[in-house]
Structure 1
Amino acid sequence: MVDKRRATLLVTGLAFFMVLLDTTIVTVALPSVQRDVGAGLGPLGWVVTGYTLPFAAMLLPAGVLGDRYGRRRAFLGGLTVFTLGSAVCALADGLPQLVAGRALQGVGGAALGPASLALVATAYPDERQRVRALGVWSALTGAALPAGPVIGGLLLTATSNWRVIFAVNVPVGVITLIVGARVARHVPARTAARLDVTGLLLSVGGLTPLVFALSEAGGRGWTDIRVLGCLTAGAVLLPAFLIRQARARYPLLPLRMFRDRLFDTATAAAFTVGFVLTSHTFFLAQFFQDVQGLDPLASGIRTLPTTLAMAVTAPFAGHLAARFGYRTPVALGCALGGAALLMLLRLQPDTAYSALWWDLGLLGVGFGLTLSPLIGAVLAAAPPELSGVASAVNNVARQLGGTIGIAALTTVVTVRTAAELRATLTPALAGRLAHAGAVAARTGGPQGIAVGQAFTTAIHATFVVNAVLLLLTAAASAGLLARRPAPVPEVSPAHATA
C-alpha cells in the first residue's frame, strides 16, 4: 500500500524542484536562444525576467488563494499551468512566444510553491515529524538553483538544442500531475472570508515594479529612469498595501502573523539566506566562466560540492531541529556558511579548484542546515489555516533577498573593479572595462588579465558582506529561534469519541 504522506512529500518536492530549476537552467541556453531567434542582449534578458517577475509578484496572492480555495487545487492548477508554459517554450518559434511561455511558467510556479509546502504541513500535522519531512523537501528543492547550470549543460551537450530544457518538463509535469491528483490530500478551506481584491491588486502592483527595478539595476544602473520609476512605484504601492491590510476586514496578508517573534526571525533569516545563496552563486559563476575561462557546464560542475552538501545535510537538519529546536541548526549553519565565505578570500584568478572544493562543500553544509528549520519555524508560528500564506511569505523573503543581493552587490563589484583598475589603466579605459564587468576578462592580453584580477579582488567584498550577514543571522537565531517543535498531543479514545 502506498504511503500517501511520503508520496505527497516526494511529489510536491519534485514539482517545486522543477520550478526552481527553471530559474537557472535557462542561463546556459541563452547564447543558443540568441542565435536561434536573433534577439539582442536587452530583449534576451526577458527570457529570464519574464519568468522571475511573475513568479515573485504572484507568490503572496497565490498562497492566499490556496488557503481560501484549497491547497490541492492550487498545487494541481499551478503544476498544470507550469507544464503548459514549458510546452509553449519548447514550441516557441520566436522571442515573444518564448517570453509568453516563461510568464506562464512563472505564474504556475508561484501557485505551486506555497501550495506544495502547505500540503506537506497538512500531511504531517505533528510538528516534529513535519520538520523532518521538510528536511527531505528541502533536500529536493534546495539543490535546484545550483544544479540548473549542470543539468542544462548536460542536456545541451547531449542534444545541441535549447528547446530540450523546456520539453523535458512536460512528461515530468504530466506524471507528477497524475500522481499528485491521487495522493495529495484535499483539505476544505477553513474560512469563508471574501477575497481582498484591493489588497491583491496593491500586492501585485507593488511587487512587480520593485522586482523589475532590482533585477535591472545591476545592468542599467540605479539612476536609470525606468529603474527609478519602478522603485518609486514599489515604494508607494507596497506601503499602501500594508495600510490596506491593517484596515481590511478580510486581509490578504494578516499582519497578526508578524507579532510572533519566531515568525519574524525565521522570515528575516530566510531573506538573508536568499541574499547570500543567490548572490554567491551569481558571482562565483562569473568568476569560473569569465576569469578562469571555463564553459557553462564545467562551471556548473564546480558548484557540485555545494549542491551535494546541501542535499545531504538538509534531511539531517530536519532531525536536528526536531530534537534540539530550530535555533541549533540555523545558528550552526549560518556560522559555518560565514566561515566558508571568509576562507574563500584566498581566491585568486589562478587558484586551483583542488584548493576550493571543500570550502564550497562547507558552504553547502551551512545552507543545508538552515533551509528546512527556517521553513518549519515559519509554518509552526502561523495558524494552520494560514500555512499557504506563511509559506508564501517565506518564499517572497528568499526571492527578494536574492534579487536585492545581486542588485546591491553588482554595484559594489562594479565600483570596486573600477577602483582596482585605476591603479594600472587610464581612468576612461578603467571605467569602461569595469562597467563591462567580468566579461571583459575574456579579451585576454594585459587588459584581460588586469580585469580578471580586479574583478577577483572586487568579489572578495561580496564574500565579506555575505559572511557578516550570515554571522549576524547566526547570533540572532541563537537568541530568537528558541521554540522547539512540539508533537501533536495524544487524543484518548473517550475524547476522540466525544
Structure 2
Amino acid sequence: MARPATSTGAWLTLLVAAAGQFLSVVSTTVVSVALPTMGEHLDASATDLQWIVDSYVLVLASLLMTGGVLGDRLGRKGVFMVGIAIFATGSLMTGLAPTIEMVLIGRVIQAIGPALLVPGSLNIVRAAFDDPARRAFALGLWSTSSGLAMAVGPIVGGVIVDGWGWRWVFLINVPLSLLLIAIAARYVPRLAKLTNKARFDLSGAVLTIVGVGALAFAIIEGQNHGWGSPLILGMFALSLVTLTIFVLVERRLADPLIDVRLYLLPRFAAANIAGLVVFFAFTGSIVYFSAYFQQVQGLDALHAGINVAALGIAFAVASTVSGHLVGRIGAKWPLLIGLVVCAAGTLGLLRLDTTTPGSLIWWNFAIFGFGIGLSMSPMAAIAMAAVDASHAGMASAILNSVRQVGQLLGVAVLGALVYANIPGRSGGGARLNPRDQESFVSGLHAAMWTSAVALLIGAVLSALLFRVEAKRERTVTPVA
C-alpha cells in the first residue's frame, strides 16, 4: 500500500485531514450560537432549532459507517475530497435558504459531506505515520483540530452573527471548502485502496440508516408527542428491531458493512463507550450553555460565545498534551483520567443560577473541556490500534458514528431536560421571562447531573473492559 513518508508530506497530509475534521466539527459549534437569532428571523420554534442541530448529526451518524467503507473501497483521497464538495454544496443551500424547511434540507445535504470525509481524515492520518509514537502524536493533533473548532466556533459564530448575520455562518464554509479541496488535490497522496472486494453491503447501510434514524426521531420528538404515544413507542420499536436485524445479518456476511466482532475486542469497546458519553456531555452542554447566556442572561451571540470559549480552548490544549501522553505511557490512563476530570467539571457547573456571570464559572468550563480533550486522542489511538489496516476505515467509521450518536443523544436528551418545564419549549430565540429563566436553570442542572453520571458510568465500564483485556490479551487474536 502506498503511503507518504513521515516527513513534510506526512505533516501536510495531517494538516489537510485535520482541516477537514475542523470544518465538520465547527459546523456544529458555530451554529449553536446562531440558533436564537435564526429562531427570530425564521419564526422557528425551539423544536425547529433543535432539528437544525440534530438533522446534521442524525444524517452524519447514520451515514458514517457507509462513508468509512466507501473510502476503503473507492480510495480515501477521492472520497475525502468528494465529501468536502458535498459539504460546501449543503452549506451554500443552507445559507441561502428562505425558510426553516429549506434550512433543514440544506443541513441534511451538508451532513452527507462529513459522513464521507471524517472517516477518511482519521484513516489518512493513520496511513501517513508508521512510527507508533509519531502516530499517537499526530492523532493528538488531529483531535486538537476538533478542540480548536470548539474553541473558536462560538466566538467566530458570535462575530459573524452580530456582524454579517446568521446566513454567513454557513456561507463562509464555501470558500474554505474550495481552498481545502485545492490543497488536498496538490498535497495528499493517492493512497491505495484497502480492499478490492466488489460487493457493497447495501442491506447493512439501509438497516443502519433506518435504525439510527428511528432512534433519533423518537428521542427528539418524545417530549412533543409524549414518551408513551404510539408514534414514539413505534419508533423505538422500529429502531430496536432494525438494529437487531442489522447485527444478525452482519454476523453472517463474509464482507459486512460493519464487522460486529470488533466489539468483542474490549479495548475497542471501551474507546466507543468513552466516545459516546464524552460527546453526549459535550454537545448538549455547548448548545444549551450558549442558549443559557442568550435566553436567560440576555447576552448577544458574541458574548455568549466568549463565555463558553474556555471549554474549547482547554480542549485544544489537552488534546495536544494527550497525544504526547499516549505516545509515552499508552492510552488507558489518559482516557480514564479524562472521563473523571470531565465529570468533575460538569458537576462544578451546577453552581450557576440565572445571574451567574461567565467570569465566575469560566474555570469550570475549562476543567470540563480539559477532561474532554484529554480523552480524545486515547479514543482514536485505541480504536485504530485494535484492528489491522484492512479494517481501519471501518474502525474509524464506527468510532466517529458512535460519537455522532452521542452528540445526537446529548442534544435531544439534555434538551428535553432543559426545556421540560417551559411551555411551548421556549419557542424561538428571544430572552425568556423570569419564571421560565428559573425553569431553564433548573433543567440545566438536571442535564449536568445526567451528563456527570453518564461520564462516570463510562469511566467505570471502560476500566472494567481494560481489566478484561489485560486478562485475555495473550489469547485474543486481532480481527483480520
State the match for 2:474 in structure 1.
none
Preserved CA contact (<8 Å) 2:60 2:401: no
State the match for 2:59 in structure 1.
54
Q: Does 1:304 align with 2:289?
A: no
Deviation (angstroms), 1:326: 0.6
State the match for 1:201 in structure 2.
206
CA deviations over 1:103-142 (Å, ceiling 9, x no partner) = 2211111101101110011101322211111111111113
State the match for 1:175 in structure 2.
179
Matches within 5 A, 1:61-210: 61-95=66-100, 97-145=102-150, 147-159=152-164, 161-193=165-197, 194-210=199-215
Preserved CA contact (<8 Å) 2:18 2:142: yes
Cα distance between partner residues in 1 of 2:262 and 2:429: 48
For structure 2, the residue ranges without an aligned partner over 5 or more in a row are: 471-480
Cα distance between partner residues in 1 of 2:133 and 2:21: 22
Cα distance between partner residues in 1 of 2:340 and 2:123: 29
Preserved CA contact (<8 Å) 2:44 2:427: no
Cα distance between partner residues in 2 of 1:313 and 1:40: 36
In structure 2, do the counterparts of structure 1 residues 345 and 244 end up closer, same or farther at CA, with 3 Å as the change threshold? Answer: same
Deviation (angstroms), 1:45: 5.7
CA deviations over 1:425-478 (Å, ceiling 9, x no partner) = xxxxxxxx466469899454xxx2x44334323432332232233233334444
Q: Does 1:22 align with 2:27?
A: yes
In structure 2, do the counterparts of structure 1 residues 442 and 158 end up closer, same or farther at CA, with 3 Å as the change threshold? Answer: closer
Preserved CA contact (<8 Å) 1:438 1:451: no
State the match for 1:471 in structure 2.
456
Cα distance between partner residues in 1 of 2:429 and 2:92: 36
Preserved CA contact (<8 Å) 2:32 2:287: no
Cα distance between partner residues in 2 of 1:461 and 1:32: 26
Identity of aligned residues (%): 34
Q: Does 1:460 align with 2:445?
A: yes
Q: Which amino acid aligns with 1:16?
A: Q
Deviation (angstroms), 1:29: 3.7
Matches within 5 A, 1:437-456: 442-444=431-433, 448=434, 450-456=435-441
In structure 2, do the counterparts of structure 1 residues 144 and 454 end up closer, same or farther at CA, with 3 Å as the change threshold? Answer: same
CA deviations over 1:471-498 (Å, ceiling 9, x no partner) = 33334444544789xxxxxxxxxxxxxx
Preserved CA contact (<8 Å) 1:275 1:401: yes
Paired positions, count: 463
CA deviations over 1:324-344 (Å, ceiling 9, x no partner) = 111121122112122222222
In structure 2, do the counterparts of structure 1 residues 230 and 196 end up closer, same or farther at CA, with 3 Å as the change threshold? Answer: same
- Report 1 or 2 for greater relative contact order, CA contacts < 8 Å, sequence distance ≥ 6: 2
For the aligned residue pairs, the C-alpha RMSD in angstroms reads 2.8
Cα distance between partner residues in 1 of 2:345 and 2:79: 39
Preserved CA contact (<8 Å) 1:286 1:438: no
Matches within 5 A, 1:247-286: 247-286=252-291
Q: Report SS of the residue matched to 1:356.
A: helix
Preserved CA contact (<8 Å) 1:328 1:478: no
Matches within 5 A, 1:324-343: 324-343=329-348
Deviation (angstroms), 1:390: 0.8
State the match for 1:9 in structure 2.
14
Cα distance between partner residues in 2 of 1:316 and 1:288: 30
Larger Rg: 1
Of residues 148-157 and 393-402 in structure 1, the stretch that sits farther from structure 2 once superposed is: 148-157
Cα distance between partner residues in 1 of 2:448 and 2:45: 32
Cα distance between partner residues in 2 of 1:341 and 1:238: 32
Deviation (angstroms), 1:380: 0.7
Cα distance between partner residues in 1 of 2:51 and 2:339: 33
Cα distance between partner residues in 2 of 1:468 and 1:40: 30
Preserved CA contact (<8 Å) 1:341 1:466: yes
Q: Which amino acid aligns with 2:171?
A: A
Preserved CA contact (<8 Å) 2:21 2:118: yes
Q: Does 1:293 align with 2:278?
A: no
Using structure 1 for the length normalisation, give the TM-score: 0.85
Using structure 2 for the length normalisation, give the TM-score: 0.88
Preserved CA contact (<8 Å) 2:57 2:408: no
CA deviations over 1:297-338 (Å, ceiling 9, x no partner) = 211110111111111110110110111111121122112122
Cα distance between partner residues in 2 of 1:237 and 1:228: 14
Deviation (angstroms), 1:172: 1.0
CA deviations over 1:377-429 (Å, ceiling 9, x no partner) = 101112211111111111111111222233333444456xx5xxxxxxxxxxx
Cα distance between partner residues in 1 of 2:22 and 2:139: 14
In structure 2, do the counterparts of structure 1 residues 437 and 53 end up closer, same or farther at CA, with 3 Å as the change threshold? Answer: same
Deviation (angstroms), 1:149: 3.1
Of residues 183-192 and 29-38 in structure 1, the stretch that sits farther from structure 2 once superposed is: 29-38
State the match for 2:477 in structure 1.
none
